[in-house]
Amino acid sequence: METWFGAVRSLYDAILIIEGARTGALPRLTRRLKEDERTNIIQSGSVFVFEEGESQIRRWADSKTWSSSRVRGHFLVYHSVEPGQDYPPNRGSGSPEPNSPESSALRKSGLSVSTIHGQKMRLIAYFTQADLDRLPTVDQEPRLANVRIPDGFY
């Protein structure tokens, strides 16, 4: 059901995964996830790609509670929020400590791009800060080895 499992480190990674899904090198989500799938499939490293028209998914639903979105480059990033928890947490310094609860909190990153043909492609990636260096990367994925991003297509 996932399109891919790994770390989306950059806009290039995201577009490569989207192109892989668009061309069939990776599976593309064609319907909304069922409730049990949301619970059992979504984890740090889960990446989903879908085309809005084909899937009829206009708004992604994962049954989790998220902070307001924050813009990080081309991505919208959300942090998981436990009931009764405020976000952002009060942290005196910049980044979370590697073993802190915040570094193990699930995050969601979203990207929307349109093709020259008007297809709206969406990528949703889940990760924890603690897992980022341990998750596979696109350059380790053999199914993406021959995928090329056409100039000006997105």
State the Cα–Cα distance between residues 48 and 122, nearest whole angstrom. 8
92 falls in which pLDDT band (50, 70, 90)? very low
pLDDT at residue 97 is higher than 90: no
State the Cα–Cα distance between residues 153 and 64, nearest whole angstrom. 33
Q: Which of 101, 81, 83 is nearest to 91 (CA)?
A: 101
State the Cα–Cα distance between residues 136 and 154, nearest whole angstrom. 25
Give 27-74 pLDDT, tens digit per residue: 999 999 999 999 999 999 999 999 999 999 999 999 899 999 999 999
pTM metric for this prediction: 0.88
